[in-house]
Amino acid sequence: MITPENSTDTLFNTCLFAAQCAGKYVYNRFNQAVTVDYKGKTNLVTQVDHKAEEMIISIIRDVFPDHRILAEESPELVSDSPYRWIIDPLDGTTNFVHGVPIFSVSIAVEYQNEVYMGVVYDPCRQELFSAIKGHGAYLNKEAIRVSATPSLIKSLTATGFPYETDAIFDANMKIFRAVYKKSQGVRRGGSAALDLCYVAAGRFDGFWEFSLNPWDVAAGALLIMEAGGKVEDVYGQPFSIQNASRIVATNGKIHCELKQLIENIYHKEK
């Protein structure tokens, strides 16, 4: 899948290095005064987001100047390359701004429109999640697997809420209530990338969220699949960048229960 001029090792090392460099910068700016701008009523962005993204792109371009890049805070860089980097420089900006230590750097690499590699770095806990398609999922170089939790009633799940309080938000509040009543709890951490990694590591048994973007989920979804879990959209279609906005991800064992519950409410309310 990887061509000779772009070896797996070079791609992976660049991905790791970029995530850790940006993560170190973000962490060093944590709990310091930052300028906050708004992309929407409650959708925050800071100069830290922009600077971390610039660092990541610069590192990538130094090694792979012809690769395409899709990043949250910048115009997409396009070319004829079959490779595309998908970057979220600071997933959990609202937490970061408010001094909550739950945020991450997420970087994925697509090859011919298929996510091939992903890295998510949590600088507060120095946890580095990584995966290469067909080679398993890892946390700080140790292999990880999804949980063995057999049913929804025994599960701990996670979700997030869209910035806009629209019909999707209302539907998800009803889903939240339903899942909460049929499980051992639902967590709302504020970083979709980390929530997905926690499913991959067996800390959560399932996750769902709406109105996400490719950079929120590309790396984390690959981690779950490589850790033995299952990722789909609410229509039961396999995960892809195109349907990232309605993701359902689990350990596989609770998947049908969780997806059916979400489907029943989502399609009724949508």
Ordered by where they begin, the domains of the chain are 8-143 (3.30.540.10), 152-269 (3.40.190.80)
Per-residue pLDDT of the chain (270 residues; tens, 9 = 90+): 444 445 779 999 999 999 999 999 999 999 886 777 776 665 677 899 999 999 999 999 999 999 999 999 899 999 999 999 999 999 999 999 999 999 999 999 999 999 999 999 999 999 999 999 999 999 999 999 999 999 999 999 999 987 776 678 888 899 999 999 999 999 999 999 999 999 999 999 999 998 899 999 999 999 999 999 999 988 778 888 877 778 999 999 999 999 999 998 877 665
| pLDDT computed for residue 97 by the predictor | 93
Rounded distance between C-alpha atoms, residue 154 and residue 151, angstroms: 6
Residue 41: Cβ within 10 Å count: 8
**Cα–Cα distance, 7 to 205 (Å, whole number):** 34
> Do 162 and 172 touch, CB atoms closer than 8 A?
yes
CA distance 7 to 248: 32
State the Cα–Cα distance between residues 226 and 211, nearest whole angstrom.
24
Residue 227 is encoded by which pair of tokens? 């850790």
Q: What is the pLDDT of residue 163?
A: 72
Is residue 215 within 8 A of residue 76, CB to CB? The reply is no
CB atoms within 10 A of CB 167: 10
CB atoms within 10 A of CB 47: 12
**CA distances to 17, 18, 63, 92 from 59, in Å:** 8, 6, 7, 22
Phi, psi (rounded to 5 degrees) for 218:
-55, -50
Distance CA 113, CA 107 (A): 15
* C-alpha angle 76-21-215 in degrees, rounded to nearest 5: 35
Find the length of the chain. Answer: 270
Angstrom distance (rounded) from CA 82 to CA 21: 25
